[in-house]
Chains A and B, each alone.
Chain A
């Protein structure tokens, strides 16, 4: 029995993902020895910051039995409005203001989503599609579509605060990792604790696995759904402001179209699209794999135009892996 458990640990979704990531790195490294460097690690980490945050939001929603395709639109509004207000002289230059407004906007749209889904019983995909359209369409109409490229003082300060600065001894280039990389790290720890160690988290799994049974057990199904979408919305607002800070840019359509790649990262990481299954570690590995592919394909000599194609193949393989894992575990029991 002990052996069986270890065996299943070695072939869990996370471990297989890890193998794939290692093999991928080795292949890239063989072609381009420069790949194995501190610089790469910093580059990948920097590129994965937003994806990791968005994926955590999406994971919580999917675990609860829903789906959220509105976070890019919510994020865009959340990053744009504070910049707009500052530009029009209606806001302060402090980081507290920028992040505060962004989080409030995200929270508001999250509340809107949860009312549509938990109270009006609209299917999550439809509800969040509608929210997405309303948010981005409404924002463009009301606030226009300017491209803000200069940061207010508060954000500029954060932009200048680096956690790690690395100067490549050969090339003399310096690579920096912003302090904001701590956000996804801390958030991952909090979300992992929440999901594994609190009744709130277990409740999310419960409603995602069997809504009816959850109701019978006395769980507050509606309340849990509210939590999932509001948390996701607020955290999306926060992440959007991180994006603006690091990219020095706030555009009303900056994130549009990101939902599929984030959902894909979750699914590759073992989050079951039908709800009730998923872990922080798996999701982070999914994000890592997709980020690696997006950032290192050119090192393999594969033109960047193939990126989407390769990502598609990985999504397919990842999904097959998950369903194969499920089938195998079901079969193992029958035997």
Chain B
């Protein structure tokens, strides 16, 4: 049973108005396996999913489902053959209850006229039982956290007799324990003989969950194989087409102190935090969720200021009681959720780049547009932001490029200290390496860099000092010669 092929694709090609989204992709998914589909943004993953689910008709290539070749697959055919996709937005109803969300699709399919709440509850309970999720069936979806909404989407998918469940980047918005929980559920579905395809490009997660892996790049098939055949080197090479050296960061010429905090305390969040950053240092702050790592970052930027303790910048004591104080001391901060807190998604790259330094471009009452454009062009070049001009809205950029715009915004203010909270979350591996290189370069120029992250490998390669927070206190401060830290 484990080796029986459920879905087979051969030479799938699809283009949209001259743009080749898929240039010949092969894929084989077996019953009862967890298959990972990896690839950088824009590699054709979403198009491939839509081809499998019948949303896009393919231009060329063959599709077999359970050994039977299908042509011109329609969404409803795909569903009837047991293909279920859980998209990133889950397509759920926030205003309806858990039970109704799970049962509604089936009711629509059966063309029910009258609603039986008893039946809806039965269907929902059965689905939750099968998935092993425990939720109050009368809870409104909008009251559930993201992970709960996802569980509801999974429950809904499997009651429709799913044989292949496709999850599009299911872990993006989840916390560590929620990811664990999701993986448990996925494994139990696998044991029931359901084939699972997960789109993901986080290697550590892929190792935890996948049996096999297929990698795409630029719409082409690169490689496929058992997960044991991939190590980090091969994975990154296949994914990006480049070799990345993962040399640990060591500052070239350590200099004098730039930034120091002493006994920083915000009751209930963190207490007695002390550390120092010298010229050339990249400092990492890590810890579990709730350890105070995020709050510490926000305190240094004045979002929720610390109540006591001292902060020194270039040897001078400074007070940070508000964001304005931080800005006046030229401290920059990249928040964790850049989409809602760091960027104006619908404004241009240029607007986003100059927004924090807009005062520099006023000449009298008039903004100097050409200077703004020039500055933006300079950052586009220096940070290699993939954009044709400073004018397109940030929404059109990929995650990695959007993050570079946030960085450009702060660099344009000439910061002395730059704090980044989860700078590479949701950024693909190539852009991640570029961002790391940028941060190292800034540190060499004498800008103090703080990276707050729970991505330990990221910290080990990029930070020469790592502060580990445990329950609001500094647990340990270490250099990056270690390979693992207990959080």
Chain A residues within 8 Å of B, Cβ to Cβ: 1, 5, 196-202, 205-206, 208-210, 212-214, 216-219, 272, 275-277, 329-330, 332-334
Given contacts A198-B114, A218-B109, A330-B142, could you give 15 more A-B pairs where the C-beta distance is less than 8 Å?
A: A5-B138, A199-B112, A201-B115, A205-B96, A206-B93, A206-B96, A209-B95, A210-B94, A212-B89, A213-B90, A213-B92, A217-B108, A218-B108, A332-B143, A333-B143
B487 at the interface (CB under 8 A from A): no
CB distance from B55 to the nearest CB of A (A): 10
**Bound Cα distance from A196 to B117, whole angstroms:** 9
The answer to whether B115 touches A217 (Cβ under 8 A) is no
B95 is contacted by which of A197, A217, A276, A334 (Cβ under 8 Å)?
A276
B91 at the interface (CB under 8 A from A): yes
The answer to whether B105 touches A217 (Cβ under 8 A) is yes
**Bound Cα distance from A67 to B315, whole angstroms:** 61
The answer to whether B95 touches A205 (Cβ under 8 A) is yes
Count residues on chain B whose CB falls below 8 Å from chain A CBs.
26
**Bound Cα distance from A81 to B35, whole angstroms:** 67
A277 and B114 in contact, given A199-B107, A218-B105 (Cβ under 8 angstroms):
no
The answer to whether B96 touches A329 (Cβ under 8 A) is no
The answer to whether A213 touches B143 (Cβ under 8 A) is no
Closest 6 CB pairs between A and B? A276-B95, A209-B95, A213-B91, A333-B143, A209-B93, A216-B91
CB distance from A323 to the nearest CB of B (A): 13
B94 is contacted by which of A196, A216, A276, A333 (Cβ under 8 Å)?
A276
CB distance from A329 to the nearest CB of B (A): 5
B104 at the interface (CB under 8 A from A): yes
B143 is contacted by which of A200, A206, A208, A330 (Cβ under 8 Å)?
A330
The answer to whether B96 touches A217 (Cβ under 8 A) is no
**Bound Cα distance from A197 to B119, whole angstroms:** 12
**Bound Cα distance from A276 to B144, whole angstroms:** 17
CB distance from B133 to the nearest CB of A (A): 15
B113 at the interface (CB under 8 A from A): yes
B139 at the interface (CB under 8 A from A): yes
The answer to whether A210 touches B92 (Cβ under 8 A) is yes
Could you say which of B92, B93, B109 has the most chain A C-beta atoms within 10 Å of its C-beta? B93
**Bound Cα distance from A218 to B160, whole angstroms:** 13
A-B contact list, 18 entries, CB within 8 Å? A5-B138, A198-B113, A199-B107, A200-B113, A202-B100, A205-B93, A206-B93, A210-B93, A213-B93, A214-B93, A217-B91, A217-B105, A276-B94, A277-B95, A329-B140, A330-B143, A333-B143, A333-B144
A212 and B100 in contact, given A199-B113, A202-B115, A333-B139 (Cβ under 8 angstroms):
no
CB distance from B313 to the nearest CB of A (A): 36
Contacts of A214 in B (CB 8 A): 93
**Bound Cα distance from A205 to B92, whole angstroms:** 12
Give B104-142 as 1s and 0s: 1 = Cβ < 8 Å from A's Cβ atoms.
Answer: 110111001111000000000000000000001011101
CB distance from A161 to the nearest CB of B (A): 34
Residue of A at shortest CB range from B112? A199
Residue of B at shortest CB range from A334? B145
Could you say which of B136, B139, B140 has the most chain A C-beta atoms within 10 Å of its C-beta? B140
Contacts of A197 in B (CB 8 A): 114-115
CB distance from A263 to the nearest CB of B (A): 19
CB distance from B111 to the nearest CB of A (A): 8
Could you say which of A205, A213, A216, A329 has the most chain B C-beta atoms within 10 Å of its C-beta? A213
CB distance from A201 to the nearest CB of B (A): 8
Contacts of B138 in A (CB 8 A): 5
Give B72-105 as 1s and 0s: 1 = Cβ < 8 Å from A's Cβ atoms.
Answer: 0000000000000000011111111000100011
CB distance from A75 to the nearest CB of B (A): 29
The answer to whether A329 touches B109 (Cβ under 8 A) is no
**Bound Cα distance from A205 to B94, whole angstroms:** 10
**Bound Cα distance from A209 to B97, whole angstroms:** 11
**Bound Cα distance from A262 to B100, whole angstroms:** 30
Contacts of A202 in B (CB 8 A): 96, 100, 104, 107, 115
Contacts of A217 in B (CB 8 A): 91, 104-105, 108
B96 is contacted by which of A1, A209, A216, A272 (Cβ under 8 Å)?
A209
Residue of B at shortest CB range from A209? B95
The answer to whether A199 touches B93 (Cβ under 8 A) is no
Contacts of A201 in B (CB 8 A): 115
The answer to whether B105 touches A209 (Cβ under 8 A) is no
CB distance from A219 to the nearest CB of B (A): 6
Give B340-373 as 1s and 0s: 1 = Cβ < 8 Å from A's Cβ atoms.
Answer: 0000000000000000000000000000000000
**Bound Cα distance from A320 to B94, whole angstroms:** 21
CB distance from A16 to the nearest CB of B (A): 18
**Bound Cα distance from A199 to B115, whole angstroms:** 6
Contacts of A276 in B (CB 8 A): 93-96
Residue of B at shortest CB range from A278? B95
CB distance from A214 to the nearest CB of B (A): 7
The answer to whether B143 touches A199 (Cβ under 8 A) is no
**Bound Cα distance from A214 to B142, whole angstroms:** 16
Could you say which of A205, A210, A275, A332 has the most chain B C-beta atoms within 10 Å of its C-beta? A210
Contacts of B112 in A (CB 8 A): 199
**Bound Cα distance from A217 to B91, whole angstroms:** 8
Contacts of B93 in A (CB 8 A): 205-206, 209-210, 213-214, 276
**Bound Cα distance from A210 to B89, whole angstroms:** 11
Contacts of A208 in B (CB 8 A): 95
Residue of A at shortest CB range from B106? A217
CB distance from B90 to the nearest CB of A (A): 8
The answer to whether B108 touches A199 (Cβ under 8 A) is yes
Contacts of B143 in A (CB 8 A): 329-330, 332-333
CB distance from A106 to the nearest CB of B (A): 25
